[in-house]
Amino acid sequence: MLKIAVIGSFSAAAALTFAPLAAADDLTSAVDIEVSALNDIFTVEADLAGDSSAVTTNSAGFDIINPADMDIATVQGAGTDVAGEYVLNSGVSPTEFDYLVYGVDPTAAGLSPDPGSYDVFNGALTEFADALNVELYALENNGALDTNPADLIGSLTPTELSGLGTATDAAEYFLQYGLGDLSGFLDIDIASLLGSL
C-alpha cells in the first residue's frame, strides 16, 4: 500500500510541476493550481494513513492537521519542539502518516509541528513550485525577480526575496532547498549522487 501511495504521489508531483505551464501568464492561477495539487496529495496520504477525518483547511487554503481540532500526536509521532525543530520524543515510533509525508526516515527528515500539504515529500514540492514560479515570472517580465510573496507558496518576505539576487539565483535557491527536502524524504544525499554522475 505504501509503494502505491508513493508512486501515486510521484504522479501527482509531475502534474503539480507541469500544470502551471498552462497558466504561465497568471501566477495567481499557477499558485492556486499548485496548492490544489498539494492538497490532493496530502489528503490522499492522510486517507491512506487513516487520518482523513483530521484534515481541515487553513486560512491560506492549505489542507492541514489542525492542532486545535486534533492532537497531532494521534496522527504523527508525538514530538517536542527542540530549538525550532519538531522531533520525535524518545521511544516514540513514527506513524504511517509520517512515512507518507516525511519519507523513508521521518525522524531524520524532521516532523512539522503543524503538518500540512506544504509538507508533501518533506516540503520538496513546495520548493520546486516556488522555483518554477520565479522562473515563470522572469520569463514574463524580461528576467526580473518576482518579489511578491503571493506568487510563491513559501513564506519569504519581499525583503528576503530581494536578497536572493537575480531570478536565476532565486530559482537555484529554491531548487537547492527542494533537493535537500527530497534528500530527506528519500534518505539519500541527492546532491552527492548527482555530483558523481
Q: Where are the domains of the chain?
A: 2-195
pLDDT, tens digit (0-9, with 9 covering 90-100), for 46-78? 999 988 888 989 888 999 987 666 666 677 776
pLDDT tens-digit readout, 98-122: 899 999 988 888 888 788 999 999 9
What is the pLDDT, as a whole number, of residue 16? Answer: 53
Cα within 13 Å of Cα(124), Cβ side: 23
Alpha helices in the chain (DSSP H): 2-18, 27-48, 96-102, 106-109, 124-140, 158-162, 167-186, 190-195
Show contacts of 170-176: CB within 8 Å, 24+ apart: 170/131, 170/134, 170/145, 170/146, 171/131, 171/134, 171/135, 171/138, 172/131, 173/131, 174/127, 174/128, 174/130, 174/131, 174/134, 175/127, 175/128, 175/131
Task: Give the pLDDT band (50/70/90) at residue 126.
Answer: very high
pTM of the model: 0.79
Question: What whole-number distance in Å separates Cα of residue 191 and Cα of residue 90?
Answer: 30
Asked if the model's pLDDT at residue 20 lies above 60, the reply is no
pLDDT of res. 38: 96
Supply 51's cell numbers: 487520518
Determine the average pLDDT of the residues in 130-142.
Answer: 93
Q: Which three cell numbers stand for residue 65?
A: 492537521
pLDDT above 70: residue 176: yes
Mean pLDDT of the chain: 81
Separation of alpha carbons 84 and 70, rounded Å: 21
Q: Is the pLDDT of residue 147 over 70?
A: yes
Q: Which pLDDT belongs to residue 8?
A: 52
